[in-house]
Amino acid sequence: MRKKIIAGNWKMNLNLAEAEDLVKGVASGLQTRNISENLKVIIAPSHPYLFTVNTFIPGSQSHFFHLSAQDCSINKSGAFTGDVAASMLKNVGCDFTLVGHSERRKYQKESNEELVEKVKQAFDNNLKVIFCCGETIEERKAEKHFEVIENQLETVFSELEGNLENFVIAYEPVWAIGTGETATPQQAQEVHKFIRGLLSNKFGNKVAEEMSILYGGSCKPTNASDLFAQADIDGGLIGGASLKAESFLGIIDAMLNEIA
């Protein structure tokens, strides 16, 4: 069975005390659940909180509960004021980093070529990557979503040889992020199946069948089960609903029910 993943993207939210409370709340909720061997839980706090938040992930949960960054630099080290190197993220306890979130593509104008450099930096520093892709509402209305997603993925696919097991894809339709408007399970499944087809063409069926593809975009406890029931949806990248332990745990429960 493919790895199932529930990842929380905290974005630029919370003060330090709130971040501590949240990780503690998630950890104590996980303590009372029977976590399947096949599930990974990931949280992505903002950079200044990573070190501290990591200290609240219990050692007994560290085989399934992981820390992720929200981004990493394209550079290795040096005079890049404000950047955070992948090696630094590894140093403070990250196992993963997000790359290519649509908010960074939009506000930081990150190009597909830059994102490839970030992926390389991550792999060079033993970080696994959750690589985000997805179309805008205009692109979907123009029925260009498959083309857009293929473009976003094809540049990065050329860098994956040797690191296929360290790569996770998150399909996040931009029109569903933070809007309350979720893709229907059928819309999401259609794209996930398409992405798995791209993987199969490029790397063969075995790799395509083994790679986890997450859905992101207004996923919450009330719609998670229907999304996770789809054949090619292997979990979620969760924004708003990951900021409260109760709703994040509710989404984890939806996945645990699906796995059971």
* Catalytic (active-site) positions: 101, 172
Q: Are 245 and 200 in contact (CB under 8 A)?
A: no
Mapping DSSP to helix (H, G, I), strand (E, B) and coil, where does residue 32 land?
coil
Chain positions 9 to 28 lying near ligand PEP, rule: CB under 6 A, are 9
Q: Are 129 and 122 in contact (CB under 8 A)?
A: yes
Shortest separation between residue 219's beta carbon and ligand PEP, angstroms: 6
Output 45 or 239, the one with its CB closest to ligand PEP: 239
What sign for the dihedral angle of Cα 47, 48, 54, 57? negative
Output 116 or 238, the one with its CB closest to ligand PEP: 238
Q: To which residue do tokens 């805008």 refer?
A: 136
Output 89 or 241, the one with its CB closest to ligand PEP: 241
In this structure, what token pair is assigned to residue 30? 């996980």
Q: What is the CA angle 85-104-101, rounded to 5?
A: 90
Shortest separation between residue 170's beta carbon and ligand PEP, angstroms: 7
238 binds ligand PEP (CB under 6 A): yes
Q: Which residue is nearest to ligand PEP (CB)?
A: 239
Q: Cα separation of 192 and 212, whole Å?
A: 10
Q: Cα separation of 240 and 160, whole Å?
A: 30
Q: Which residue stretch of 19-27, 190-198, 226-234, 238-246 sits at the interface with ligand PEP (rule: CB under 6 A)? A: 238-246
Shortest separation between residue 9's beta carbon and ligand PEP, angstroms: 4
Contact characters 135-174, ligand PEP, x per CB under 6 A = -------------------------------------x--
Q: To which residue do tokens 């790397």 refer?
A: 203
43 binds ligand PEP (CB under 6 A): no
Return all residues near 151 (Cβ < 8 A) that are at least 6 apart.
112
Q: Cα separation of 187 and 77, whole Å?
A: 41
Output 50 or 237, the one with its CB closest to ligand PEP: 237
240 binds ligand PEP (CB under 6 A): yes
218 binds ligand PEP (CB under 6 A): yes
Interaction site with ligand PEP (CB under 6 A):
9, 172, 177-178, 216-219, 237-241
